[in-house]
Structures are given as C-alpha cells and as structure tokens.
Amino acid sequence: MDRYGVIGHPIRHSRSPDIHRHFALLTGQHLSYERIEGTLDGFESEVVRFFAAGGLGLNVTLPFKERAFALAALHSPRARVAHAANTLGVTPEGTLWADNTDGEGLVRDMTLNLGVTLEGSRVLILGAGGAARGIVQPLLEAGIVQLDIANRTLVRAQTLVRELESLPSAVSCRAFSWPDIPAQAYEVVINATSTAVAGDLPPLPAALFDQRTLAYDLGYGKGPTPFLKLAGQAGAGRTEDGLGMLVEQAAESFYLWRGIRPPSAEVLRALRAACH
C-alpha cells in the first residue's frame, strides 16, 4: 500500500492521520498514513529512512518545518518565502521536494468554505513567525491590495516585509510593532501568533474591526479563541477559527501527492462535529 505520514514532536495530538484517512476513503485511494514521532537530533535521518523504505509523502509539523525545507533539494516558491515546508515528496527520479500548503489552505478556506472575497481587501496579519511566513505568498496572489504585518518583535515583521517587497507583487506591504498597529478597520485580520491556547494576546485597537471585518484565528479549539472573542466584542462582523485551514492545507498536500482533490468540506464538517 502507498505509504504516507506526518512527522513532528510531539505528534500524538496530530489530526492529520484522521483527515488523510478520511480523504482516502472518500476518493477511493488505497494508502496508509501514519504518525511518526520525530526526534530532535535524528529528524533528517528519519525522513531519509522513510523515503528510502518506499514512503511517498510526509507532512511535517512543529518543530521540524524549517529543517524539512533545508533537507529538500527542490522547493516551491511558496515554501521559499516561508523558509519552511509542511509537505515533502519525491520525484520519479527520487529527488526530495518541499512545499508549503498552509497559505493555500488558508485562502481556500476563506474563499471556498467561508465565501469571502479577498480581491480588494486590506489584510492585517498579527505575528511574523513560521505560520505568518507560510501564508503570505498565497495571500499576495489572492488579489488583496494591502498587507500589514504586526509583530511583538518588530524586526521579524520588517524582515518579512523586506522579503515580500522583493517579490513581483503590486500589493503594498508594511511592518508594525504591536503598539503602533494602525487604528483603522481592515477587511481581514488574521491572528498568526501562537497565543490561541495561552490567551495572552496583547491589547488591540478596537478600530481594527467593523461589520465588514473577517477576524480569522489560525488557532482552533473548543469554542472561540481569545482573539476571536476579543474581535467579536470589538465589532468584527465575522469570526472564524483555523480548523478549516487545517483541513484545506491537508487537502492541498493530498492533491500534490495523489493528483486528486478530496471533498474537504465534508471532512471539515465531520471534524467540526467531532470537536463539539
């Protein structure tokens, strides 16, 4: 059977095996998908061993996404912007390739599942870590007109914006430190910080949100995240978590490996029902 998996540390909470097995069932694909507990000092050899034993594809999660990117010989443009990969595969000649499907997953969730029009939108991303890097390039290609990135550590946002300015894109990009976030309404505000669980998000200007604003948290859990609660109270017209992005980034990986787009909306509904 064709062999796939997800590698991370820790890996026991990953929902990827459930999602990919569901995709395989719905598309009639015969494949196995396993959880692999990677080790901090052995990640590279574990990946090499997996592919040498005939494995066809790996999803990569924390803390190995940058190392997965460095290990591969071929990189997609979106993985290059991210400096990180969440999807690995091999060419027919056996060369390891790396891609990053997080941003495509986000854009597909927003546009297809949530019916949001990104064309002409002004977008604010909170955070400039790995997840923010993973989503910026597909967002730039989705027709937005303004991309602002605010981060607690300003220099990380500035570095990312400088890199985006070197890409062939007409979108205006700006970097802000947290206290300097412009007090203006955005059509989309994305929380790409790692504060979804701890809830220690610094204060945000209420003016960021109005009835037209989609507040989107890459994090997810039972019930609204602290950011989504805050955005809703500040007047955001719509608040959504990142479960849809999780399913859509998996669907994009499945598509890269198998050439078939799985019915992701059905899997998202099942996952959402299981979460409540």
Residue 161 sits in the site that holds ligand NAP (CB under 6 A):
no
Comparing CB distances to ligand NAP, the nearer of 120 and 205 is: 205
Residue from 3, 15, 156, 174 in contact with ligand NAP (CB under 6 A): 156
Minimum gap (Å) between residue 93 Cβ and ligand NAP: 30
Contact call for residue 251 and ligand NAP (CB under 6 A) = no
Please tell me whether residue 8 binds ligand NAP under the rule CB under 6 A. Answer: no
Nearest to 251 by CA among 97, 110, 136, 105: 105
- Minimum gap (Å) between residue 62 Cβ and ligand NAP: 6
For residue 261, give every residue at least 6 positions away whose Cβ sits within 8 Å of its Cβ, in sequence order, or none: 251, 254, 255
Residue with Cβ nearer ligand NAP (2 or 111): 111
Candidates 8, 89, 219, 262: give the one binding ligand NAP (CB under 6 A).
219
Q: Which residue is nearest to ligand NAP (CB)?
A: 129
Nearer to ligand NAP, 3 or 174 (CB): 174
Taking CB under 6 A as the binding criterion, the range among 72-80, 110-118, 127-135, 141-149 that sits at the site for ligand NAP is 127-135
Among 7, 192, 236, 271, binds ligand NAP (CB under 6 A): 192
Q: What are phi and psi of 21, to 5 degrees?
A: -65, -35
Dihedral sign of CA atoms 66, 68, 70, 74 in order: negative
Q: Which of 100, 121, 225, 249: binder of ligand NAP (CB under 6 A)? A: 249
Residue 65 among the catalytic residues? yes
Amino acid symbol at 126: L
Amino acid at 259: G
Q: Which amino acid is at 145?
A: V
Out of 65, 75, 133, 258, pick the active-site residue. Answer: 65
CA distance 239 to 215: 5
Contact criterion met (CB below 8 Å) for 177 and 204: no
Please give the Cα distance from 32 to 51 (Å, whole number). 14
DSSP label of 94: -
Residue 34 phi, psi dihedral angles, 5° rounding: -120, 160
Residue 5 binds to ligand NAP (criterion: CB under 6 A): no
- Residue 264 binds ligand NAP, judged by CB under 6 A: no
Which of positions 71-110 make contact with ligand NAP (CB under 6 A)?
Answer: 102, 105
DSSP state of 31: E
Residue 194 found at the interface with ligand NAP (CB under 6 A): yes
Q: Where are the alpha helices (DSSP H) in the chain?
A: 16-27, 43-52, 65-71, 77-82, 102-108, 130-140, 154-165, 226-233, 243-258, 264-275
Annotated catalytic residues are 65
Name the site residues for ligand NAP (rule: CB under 6 A).
Answer: 102, 105, 127-132, 151-153, 156, 192-196, 200-202, 218-219, 242, 245-246, 249
